[in-house]
Structures are given as C-alpha cells and as structure tokens.
Amino acid sequence: MSASGSHFLSYDSLSDVVALCKSRGFIFQSSEIYGGLASCWDYGPLGSLLKRNVKESWWQAMTRRLDVVGLDASILMHPKTWEASGHLEGFTDPLVDCKSCKTRFREDHAPKSDSGKMECPSCGSEDLTDTRNFNLMFKTHMGPVQDGGSEVFLRPETAQGIFVNFENVRQSTRKKLPFGIAQIGKSFRNEITPGNFIFRTREFEQMEMQYFVSPGEDEKFFDYWKSQRMSFLTKTLGLSKDKLKFSEHGPTELAHYAKAAFDVEFEFPFGWGELEGIHNRSDFDLKQHQEFSGKKLVYFDEEKKEKYTPYVIETAVGADRLTLAVLCDAMVKEMDTAEDKEIRNVFKVSPKLSPYKAAILPLSKKPHLLEQSHQIFNELSLGMSVDYDEAGSIGKRYRRQDEVGTPFCVTVDFDTETDHKVTVRHRDNMSQQRVSLERLEDFIKEGLESYDEFGGE
C-alpha cells in the first residue's frame, strides 16, 4: 500500500508533545507520585532508548575519525577550576523579587512601565527589591565536615574537564595539532527560569567537543565545524532544514572567552531556541588554567620549532535539547491515509534513532504462534532493539508502533509455520512484504540502512 494521498501536520503545541511523551513512555515528570520536582524529568523505557541513540550518533560522528578522541571527566572538580574558568565570579544572574506577589525573576526579563521603571512580569507591580547577583552553580560539601574548606561544586559545564586534561590526553595519545577531545556528561545549573519541558532544566546532559588548533588557523576550523555540525543535524539525524538556522553573537553578546560564536537554532513549538553552539574560545581557557595551576599547558610545534598556546574551537549541544528537537520535528499527524482513511500519529524519526528497530506481532494468541513469535523476538534481539506486542487488534498494534517510531512491524500469521515467512510492514508508507524467516534479520538491517528508498515521504 502507498501513503501517497496523505499529508503531514507537525505537532504545533508543546503540550501535545509532552502528553504523547508520557502516554508512550518517553519522558515522565520526576518524582511525580510526590507532586513532581520542578524542571526535573525522567526518561522512560522509550525515551532512554531514544536519548541513548541520539548520544551514540553524536559520539560516532565525533570520535570515529583520526583527529578526535574521547574523554569522561569527573563531575566534581577542584574548586580552583571554577575560579580559573571565571564561573565563581561571573556565572551569575541578576535577580529581583516582587514585594507584592513574591515572584522572583531575572532583571533582564522584567518589562518597563511608561515611567521607565521596572515592573514585575507577573503582577505589574513596581514595588521591587534591589537587584542581587545569584551564582548558578550548585554547591555541596566533600568530606565529613561542612566548612569553607570542604566546598565543591557540581560542574555547570563539561568543557573544563577537557581543558584540565589537555596535556594528559596529548601525551598519552601523542596527538598533534589540530586534534579534538569529545565528551558526553551531566552538568548542573541552578537556573532561575527553567521551562519548556526538557529544553531548559537544572540537570542536563551535554555533548561537547573542544578542537585545539594553532593560532592563525582558528577561523578556518571555526567555519569547518560550523559546516560539520549543520550537516550532522540534517543528514545524520534527519532534522528538517527549514527548522534550523545559524544565529551569530554580536559584540555585546559574546562570552568573556569568545572571539566569535554562532548558535544553531531550531524552531520548537514555542519558537526558535538555541540547540547548539559553535564558539571560537581563542586561547583563553588553557592560559587561565596554566596561570591558576602553575602547570605548563603549551604546545611545541615540531614543524615550526616554536611553543604556543593552542586556540580552541568548541561545539556544544545539549543531549536533552537535541532529543526534544527530534521529538518535535518527527512527531506528525498523517491525514487521509490510504490504509484506513483516519488520522494516524506517526513518529517519523530516522531509523538510526528509533527506540525499537522492529516489533514482533503475532496475529493471534494461539500457542504455536506465540511460541514462534517469541523465538523470532529472541533471535532478532541479539542484534537490535526489538519490541513485542500481542495485545489488541493488529491494526491497533500497528498504530502503537507508528506512534513510537518503529520502522518495521513483523506479523507472524497462520501461514508462517508452513511457508516459514512473515509479513513485514513499513512504518512510513505502510507497504507490506512477505519475507522468509531465513532472510528476516538481513532484510531489516538492509532496510534500516536504505530506509528512505521505500519508507520516506
């Protein structure tokens, strides 16, 4: 069958995406049975698989090349790290409290009244407290005694773990410039205004790569990584090109360490939002850590016979934001399908990212069909993530798998026992093919590699 007569509508409401994420086991409110904890989310059975696939796609794209290696640095770091990086002094938000409604908000988020005074964004009152600076880092204590000497911080970014390990990685891998260090890890920021589901949270996962280059080559590699990152988002992950754009940081927007910076923005249901940053961090970071640690972090260029501090090109993307972009981009409603003339919810995600690659669906609960279906499930599960569903009509089961993005549904029917074949249904165009059990695993793997040939719009 073909879906050529259908058209697709994206979910234009974030609440619809949130509802589907909960009902299908992608993402739940953290501690929901206790009323939840603001801006904290748990990834369910399908969400954990989806996010793992997003991270694995990024990891492969970054580290399966000669010039980039991986790292997994500790969340807790020496407090001097954050002094050198500027986080202790400069990682703050200016906060204001409304004396009328008790709302706390960032100063730059407050509207101005006709008289030019700052207003509360909630109630409009001008009766506000003075501005106070609030550091965004989470503070804790290491050791049995809580005093000033035991203070440590949950890292607000993964980048510093890369910078402090620059010399360790260079010496152990014998890498020459240019080379990069990639890392995926948790970061924590005590955000004042988190929200928009998993877009801005206090606990999040970053995927960062710091690419070390010689001074004078930074602009060339800055442009190179801009191109590479946009290609990854569109070609590898399959995000819609018309929902992505570059946004340049102006002179007043640049971070203290940046020579140049671009954001990749994605059009979420709530508007355009930052998805990834590509930054030219100059030689700021290594020089700072060299000064505060007293350890040499320079590079000796054997060809030029000179020492210098490398410049750094950074690519940084949030795993949670990227997962949200995938969810918002690929969740669609298909109208007037050829299969049953009804609205069909489809998660048209790239098969690389699909939580399940296939689902095994016995046509009935006859013992011999169930036994054979379990056997097929066990065999396929050795090489890919597979679901199994025997509840309800076959049509309803197809719909459930469409909603969670499963590319292939494998129906085990009454003829399977005699002809040793199953029916394989494709998610996007709903076409069906009879495939031998002997060929089934290879057929699915080949289909996953060339899915657009028969499964695309």
CA–CA gap between residue 447 and residue 457 (Å, rounded): 15
* Phi-psi category of residue 39: left, alpha or beta, with phi > 0 → left and psi -120 to 50 → alpha: left
Contacts 24+ apart (CB under 8 A), 171-177: 173/69, 175/67, 175/69, 176/302, 177/212, 177/213, 177/214, 177/299, 177/301, 177/310
Distance CA 437, CA 419 (A): 9
Query: Are the C-beta atoms of residues 282 and 218 closer than 8 Å to each other?
Result: yes
Distances in Å between the alpha carbon of 361 and those of 206, 272, 365, 388, 416?
37, 40, 10, 6, 12
pLDDT string in tens for the chain (457-residue length): 334 445 555 666 888 889 989 999 999 999 999 999 988 999 999 999 999 999 999 999 999 999 999 999 999 999 999 989 988 775 566 778 888 887 877 777 788 887 788 888 888 888 898 877 776 888 889 988 777 678 899 999 999 999 999 999 999 999 999 999 999 999 998 877 677 999 999 999 999 999 999 999 999 999 999 999 999 999 999 999 999 999 999 988 888 889 999 999 999 999 999 999 999 999 999 999 999 999 999 999 998 899 999 999 999 999 999 999 999 999 988 875 455 567 888 999 999 999 999 999 999 999 999 999 999 999 999 999 999 999 999 999 999 999 999 999 999 999 998 999 999 999 988 999 999 999 999 999 999 987 654 334 3
First to last CA, the chain: 13
**Which residue in 414, 398, 399 sits closest to 360, CA to CA?**
398
Strand runs labelled E in 2-65? 7-10, 27-29, 41-43
In the 3-class helix/strand/coil scheme, how is 396-449 assigned residue by residue? Answer: HHHHHHHHHCCCEEEEECCCHHHHCEEEEEECCCCCEEEEECCCHHHHHHHHHH
Q: What is the pLDDT of residue 336?
A: 59
> pTM for this structure?
0.86
Give CA–CA dist 342/335, Å, rounded.
7
Stretch (H or E) spanning 161: helix 159-163
Tell me the backbone φ, ψ of residue 331, rounded to 5 degrees: -80, 115
Q: Which regions of 44-165 does DSSP assign to beta strands (E)?
A: 68-71, 92-97, 104-106, 132-135, 139-141, 151-153
Q: Phi first, then psi: what are they for 434, rounded to 5°?
A: -90, 125
- Any idea what the Cα angle at residue 354 is, between residues 349 and 356, rounded to 5°? 145
For the chain, the domains span 50-77+158-327, 92-135, 356-455
Class of the domain covering 50-77+158-327: alpha beta
What one-letter code names the amino acid at 37? L
Question: Distance (Å, rounded) from C-alpha 42 to C-alpha 55?
Answer: 16
SS3 assignment, position 362 = strand
Assign a CATH topology to domain 356-455: Rossmann fold (3.40.50)
User: What is the per-residue pLDDT for 104?
Assistant: 74
pLDDT of residue 339: 52
| pLDDT at res. 4 | 45
Residues in CB range of 270: below 8 A, 6 or more apart = 14, 196, 199
User: Residue 131's pLDDT is what?
Assistant: 79
Q: Is the peptide bond before 362 cis (omega within 30 degrees of 0)?
A: no
Residues 39, 30: contact at Cβ < 8 Å?
Answer: no
Residues 444, 380 contacting (CB under 8 angstroms): yes
SS3 content of the chain, % helix, strand, coil (to 5): 35, 30, 40
Half-sphere exposure of 43 (CA within 13 A, CB side): 18
- Cα-Cα-Cα-Cα torsion 348, 350, 356, 361, nearest 10 degrees, comes to 50
> How many whole angstroms separate alpha carbon 312 and alpha carbon 283?
6
